[in-house]
Chain A
């Protein structure tokens, strides 16, 4: 069946269900209005029969009418009931199939990445933390610090590494604008800067998150499933392949060689806080803990 057919079936079944419920409700309302009135008529007729036996035919007719009406309602309601069950089955079947079709694996993954249990808190927090990063930091970068650093460390080639370190410490990464400025006001060539900054692991050219998460991938942690931990965190933080920081710049994920506490494997560090004996779920919880501690 095509999706269009399924959708049509679901709508039709839903309409029939609504109609069925309407019929049942109307039936019930009418019956609950009629019942006391009918009872009163019968009682009045019974009184009359005591005085005038000729009325008994009328009483019989009245009682037969009431019984027939009630029996008809019963049969009608049963039929509506079965129709409702059949239509609900069609409706549920169609809707379930539609949902299964409209939710391919990509959507599933995004649901994994943002568990609803913590969704609300996260979203609220996210907004406040987004406020800090709302404007692209590169756009309105204050380059004054570069000048200060150059004044302190000198303009020669030998000052390249201390300069880069100072800049990285200040901006928490090496922004392109700062590098350009550095080339302008020093003797260091762009090639030298690019070469130096890409050679050493300590320099990074993309903005870093508020918290650094170091997932240990040493031998013990690797054996204990560090890969699963990293994958899980990536999924949760929605960090795409080839990136290491989430969209809100809250967390930067690093895979490090060893944190030196193999007995706690698999282990990770969020800034200075260590969490060990992790499962994918507790690893994510460790990040959430940090996030919750954030002043709102």
Chain B
């Protein structure tokens, strides 16, 4: 039954992607050919670059998609197969550097929700292929492996992941209540994106608390909000991801179907509960990982005395002791 559901959801996602693809099949052109060109004006006139950011070459767009795929693959491999927290931190830093600071936080799957919504609703709207790919790929991965995108790939998540210092446990009720906020935010974002073109507003992008850091500029109040999120994030693990990220809501729906995500199994682990303590996101309930909350940080594996970095370190220590 879950297998059938999974297949169904993948088909639905692919169909939606195809629909979005059809919706974007508008030839994009700028009618600047009719305007006086640099050559016709003469006199050493140079057309100033007025557009920022400049459109990227298509192969760079393809590179972004390939890198996103590769990063998600790496995230799954590192967490599920290798169980190495350190490697995942490395991946987070790399993603933060590329998708965050180099690509200035755009395009990201979180914001692409709005592009896809608009593309499906407005036939005149042209959506880039990259936006479609970036929106659907993490969801498809989530159907099989859980929220691999959240751990080590998403630059917003990576930023918060790196600032977690001393996470406090959020009471379960409060955690659940705040978790509903992201669906409210998702609904609002869709509503505002569905408005007619002139009054349309991309809420998620406008109120993205971290994109200002990536670009070294932004509305002061958003920068301040981002700062508050980061300082709060030292003590409450990834507050934006857990309580506000609308894409996180979609991912958690998809990851309910996942069977190969992060699992804590009694045959490999001890049922000792150290992982529950190690998880800053409250994603381990009764010693079992909750896929829809798990953010792929691999802290549980790192803290496992049976099969994790702790155990490997112990083995190494015993080895040294034995050699002497």
Determine if B124 is an interface residue (Cβ-Cβ < 8 Å): no
Give the number of chain B interface residues (Cβ < 8 Å): 23
Helix, strand, loop or mixed for chain B's interface? loop
How would residues 64 to 96 of chain B score, 1 for a CB under 8 Å from any chain A CB and 0 otherwise?
Answer: 000000000000000000000000000000000
Determine if B271 is an interface residue (Cβ-Cβ < 8 Å): yes
Given contacts A108-B277, A280-B273, contact A92 B168 (CB under 8 A): no
Q: Which of B19-27, B138-146, B158-166 contacts A (4 or more CB under 8 A)?
A: B158-166
Determine if A86 is an interface residue (Cβ-Cβ < 8 Å): no
A279–B216 CB distance below 8 A:
no
A77–B216 CB distance below 8 A:
yes
A282–B286 CB distance below 8 A:
yes
Determine if A115 is an interface residue (Cβ-Cβ < 8 Å): yes
Which residues of A have CB within 8 Å of B277? 108, 111-112
Task: Report the Cα distance A111→B227, complex, angstroms.
Answer: 29
Residues facing A in B7-30 (CB within 8 A) are: none
Task: Report the Cα distance A120→B277, complex, angstroms.
Answer: 17
B286–A116 CB distance below 8 A:
no
Determine if B274 is an interface residue (Cβ-Cβ < 8 Å): yes
Determine if B31 is an interface residue (Cβ-Cβ < 8 Å): no
Name 6 interchain pairs, CB-CB below 8 A, sorted by A: A78-B216, A99-B165, A117-B172, A279-B286, A279-B287, A281-B287
Task: Report the Cα distance A32→B271, complex, angstroms.
Answer: 58
Q: How large is the interface on A (under 10, 10 to 19, 20 to 34, 35 or more residues)?
A: 20 to 34
B286–A92 CB distance below 8 A:
no
A281–B165 CB distance below 8 A:
no
Task: Report the Cα distance A112→B169, complex, angstroms.
Answer: 12
A225–B274 CB distance below 8 A:
no
Determine if B42 is an interface residue (Cβ-Cβ < 8 Å): no
Determine if A28 is an interface residue (Cβ-Cβ < 8 Å): yes
Task: Report the Cα distance A138→B168, complex, angstroms.
Answer: 39
Given contacts A108-B274, A280-B273, A281-B287, contact A116 B166 (CB under 8 A): no
Task: Report the Cα distance A95→B277, complex, angstroms.
Answer: 19
A118 to chain B, nearest CB (A): 8
Given contacts A78-B216, A92-B162, A117-B172, contact A112 B273 (CB under 8 A): yes
B271 touches which one: A92, A117, A235, A279 (CB < 8 A)? A279
